[in-house]
Chain A
Amino acid sequence: MNDRHTTERGRIRIVGFDDANANRSDNDASDDDDTDGATPADSGAGPATTAETETMSASTLRQPGRRLENAWRRFRRNQSGMAGLAVLVVMAVLAVFARPITVSTTEVTITLQPFSLAPYDPAAMFVGPANAPPSPAHPFGTDWAGRDQFSRVLVGGRYTLSIGLVAVGLALCVGVPLGAIAGYFGGWIDEAIMRVVDVLYAFPFLVLAIAIVPILEPVPILGSGYWTVVVALAVTGWVGYARLLRGEVLSVREREYVTAARALGVPDRTIIRRHVVPNAVAPVVVQATLNVGTVVLTAAALGFLGLGLEPGSAEWGAMLAQGRSSLLRGDWHITVFPGLAIFLFVLAINLVGDGINDAIEPDRDATDDRRRIR
């Protein structure tokens, strides 16, 4: 995990261009076009410097393609990260193929996905005895209305995955641009946006959610349930990303390539979009990945308070919350399976997030963190 072990000896290391070295050594490892055995690393100072300058200039222009490749390669070496990713992929596949996906208007019905892994329709009631423990016919048992838990857990993945991704996605769409603008332009724009961020930070999420949900209810498009929860989560989530990104942007904007771009007359908009944000976005990506997990847990807590999705939804958190009285009765199967599902999902997401963290920024300077956060 520590890229300081290079084969180059006696070289002066210049901190801040680590990515250049990483790119170089990785390129060397994978590039078949290189001359056999004559890697620049082993030769003397001359060709090394030239090669280094070349790759340096290439990487100072920041080829995201290359960088992503390298990050992916590093990620692949991380066992727990890969395990987490595998779990997520399996969950996603199960969610997609759980029940058929169809699009229909009044005349036409298009089936996007015809497979059905779930044996029963998750909303079909009384397909089995109520509150039955796990059995061959119903591997996860049935709930109070005789609905098959196995089918519901499978289909529930859709809600969980989509809520997590959509809520975080929306929050990013708001937080990243605002954070970038604040960090890049500085001055009163920065102050204004950061004060708004501070104000919102003073409200704990559930306080805002409890208030937002009844406010959003009368709005026609939203109604209760899915979109209300997602919007509530997004509205409160963007704040963290804005602040984080702003901090990163503050240091990135001092980099030479930005100055160069400015000098060339590239418009600010393009600079932000193409140069600043891609280089600053790394910790935000890590945070966002981790937040998918917290978002799912928060949606579950909202379900517990009764503010969540439409009653009867097969969402894991809702199933967990609605089944809580059965815990005391001894019907363990009603809460254990959705609970395990959430647990696995959040665990996997966190492993992936950690993996991404290690893959993208192996050597972050801790002292800069504090300044960036304020």
Chain B
Amino acid sequence: MSLGRYVGRRLAITVPVLVGVSVLTFSFVHLLPGDAVDALVGFRDVSPATEAAIRAEYHLGQPVWNQYLLWLRDAVTLEFGESPVTGRDVTATIGSRLPATLALGGAAWLLALAIGIPAGIVTAVKAGEPADELGRIAALAGIATPNFWLGLILLFVFSVRLGWVRVIPPDAPLASIATAKFLVLPTITLGTAAAALVMRLLRSSIRRELDAPYVTTARAKGLPERTVVLKHVLRNALLPVVTIAGLQLAFLVDGAVVVEGIFSWPGMGRLLVRSILRRDYPLIQAIVLLIGVAIVLANLLVDVIYAILDPRIRY
């Protein structure tokens, strides 16, 4: 089918997925034992009138149905209301933490590509040689190390013992040298596993491509190996890497929760954990919805790019 129809079809499928994401977000928050009022009031002695008033303020008395629809209607306009715990606007809170998250996540993703792609190419081309074995072992080591352990060790060695980098983020704007310097360690911690995955994937992908007939043809034509690999093979071999780029988003969020804690980085991972612990419903829902939508849209984008690059898949 044509590209337009394919994109249209995928878009159409994305809508029910997004709805499903919103329903799931809303419901599991409500499955958590306790609600925001209990968390707020705790064991304090408040009059029943006060408790009822607080409940009404956050629509907690209404049937779940209604609550969901009210929430959804507001969510579409990015109005997530006020957090019962902090009293401040949820959207503003997320907005203040979002840049930090994007900075760390983006840096880690770029690192994964910057290391993974060249390493993948080198180990694929030099398969069987010591460079390849070394690369494979390094990749496996990267995957096998628990990320929080890696983070703590890096912190211990480079911050405490050597003093090269700060332990806590510097008092400087996000787009500054000081912050960039600080971000080195967290980025390495977060990006190592992803880099290893990219490397392995690219390596096996290139090795498969190297067996294809067009490579034999190119070689027969007398093209230098370098051109064959970089100009022809790479373009095809990168496709699986593009595929997982969308999935990487989810992995990065997972890793971020841990890494943000160790390096005291004010991102959304820590915000999410804290809001779940405090049963801060509006905040939990907003963050999870945001992450979910981002992942779904990222996957959609990846599908479309793939469809552009490889027309065969547009069944």
Which residue numbers of A lie inside 8 Å of B, CB to CB?
Answer: 2, 4, 80, 191, 195-196, 198-208, 210-212, 214-215, 217-218, 293, 297-298, 300-301, 304-305, 317, 320-321, 324, 327-328, 335, 339, 342-347, 350-351, 363-367, 369-371, 373-374
Contacts and interface: CB of A to CB of B under 8 A. Distances in A.
Given A304-B258, A350-B140, A350-B143, A211 B253 contact: no
Nearest to A371: B313
Given A199-B17, A371-B312, A293 B144 contact: yes
B24 interface: yes
Given A195-B13, A206-B253, A210-B276, A324 B148 contact: yes
B170 interface: no
Interface string B197-241: 000000001001101000000000000000000000000110110
Q: Is the interface of B mostly helix, strand, loop or mixed?
A: helix
Q: For chain A, what secondary structure do more than half of its interface residues adopt (helix, strand, loop), or is it mixed?
A: helix
B146 A342 contact: yes
A78 B237 CA distance: 25
B148 A321 contact: yes
B109 to A, nearest CB: 14
B276 A211 contact: yes
Contact of B240 (A204, A320, A370): A370
A351 B312 contact: no
B288 A374 contact: no
Nearest to A372: B313
Contacts of B28: 208, 211-212, 215
Interface string B287-313: 010011101100100010010001011
Interface of B: 13, 16-17, 20-21, 24, 28-29, 31-33, 136, 140-141, 143-149, 152-153, 156, 160, 205, 208-209, 211, 236-237, 239-240, 243, 247, 249-251, 253-254, 257-258, 272-273, 276, 288, 291-293, 295-296, 299, 303, 306, 310, 312-313, 315
Contacts of A205: 250, 254
Contacts of B292: 202-203
8 contacts: A198-B296, A198-B299, A201-B295, A203-B291, A301-B147, A344-B144, A365-B208, A370-B310
Contacts of A350: 140, 143-144
A199 B240 contact: no
Nearest to A202: B292
